[in-house]
Amino acid sequence: MGLFSGKTALVTGSGAGIGRATALKFAADGANVVVSDIHVDGGEETVSMIHQAGGSAMFQRADVSKAADVAALVAGVVDQYGRLDCAVNNAGIEGTIAPFADQAEANYDAIMGINAKGTYLCMQAEIRHMLAAGGGTIVNLASIAGLIGFPGLSPYVASKHAVIGMTKNAALEYGKSGIRANAVCPGGIDTRMLDSLADQATSGAQSSAQMMDPLHPLGRIGTPQEVANLIVWLSSPEASFMLGAIIPVDGGYVAQ
C-alpha cells in the first residue's frame, strides 16, 4: 500500500519534465493520476509509462488558459475517480528573451495566460471541489523567477511572482477548510524549458548545463525528479503543517 493509495492526483503540464516526474512519483506511491497537457503525445506517453510500471492513470487534454477546458478537466477527474485529493499546477511556458521595453505584447499575453491565469483558473476549480469534499492539497509551480528578477524574462518573472501571491492568498483563505496550498520554486532544472532558454541566450553555443551549472552553488542544475520529490512530499500527510510555504529547490541559487 502506497502513501497515496486510494487517492487521486491531478498534474497539469505532465507530458514531460517536472510534471511527468511528478505524475510518475505519485503513481509509484499509489495514487490514481490524471495526466493533463496541451500536447497529447507527451501526455499519453506519461500515462503509458505509469501503466507499464503497474500504476493507475488517465490522460485528459486541457489548455489551462481556457476556463472551459479547466472546468472539464476537474470534472473529468471526479467523474473518473470520484475524488480529487492532490492538485499540482505545473503547466507553464517560458516565452522569448528580450529587454523589458522590447517585449512583445503577444509574448506577455501568452505567458501570463498560461502561467498566471492558468494557475488561477485551475486553483479555483480545484478549491471548489476540495471545499465540497472536505479538503485537499495544492502545489503550484512557481520558480526562483518568482523570488528574484532575471533580465530578459520580465513577463515570465511577472507570471511567477503572481503564482506566489496566489498561493499565499489561497493558503490564508482556505487553510482552515482543510486545503493546504504551497508552492515550489525550481532553479535551473534539466528540462526542455531550460534548453530553450539556453538556446535563446547563447544562440545554441552552450547547452543548458554549460550555461547554468556554474551559476548554482551546488555546481550543477537539478533533475525533474528532485523537484518531484518535494512536490509529492508537500502533497502528503507528512507535510501536514506546511501551509502557504514558498520553497526554493535550486541548488542554493537564491542563497547567493
State the catalytic residues.
156
Q: Quick count: other Cβ atoms within 10 Å of Cβ 195?
A: 14
Please name the residues in contact with 241: beta carbons below 8 A apart, sequence gap of 6 or more: none
> Quick one: which of 118, 111, 32, 137 has its CA closest to 70?
118
Cα separation of the two ends of the chain: 42
Q: How many Å apart are CA 86 and CA 239, to the nearest integer?
A: 13
Q: How many Å apart are CA 95 and CA 103, to the nearest integer?
A: 10
Bridge partner residues of 12 (DSSP): 36
Q: Do residues 33 and 23 lie in contact, with contact meaning Cβ atoms separated by under 8 Å?
A: yes
Q: Residue 73 is placed in which grid cell? A: 478537466
Place of cell 512557481: 142
Please, what is the Cα angle at 180 between 51 and 94, to 5 degrees?
65
> What angle, rounded to 10 degrees, do the helices at 118-133 and 67-81 form?
30
Q: What type of residue is 64?
A: V
Q: Do residues 36 and 77 lie in contact, with contact meaning Cβ atoms separated by under 8 Å?
A: no
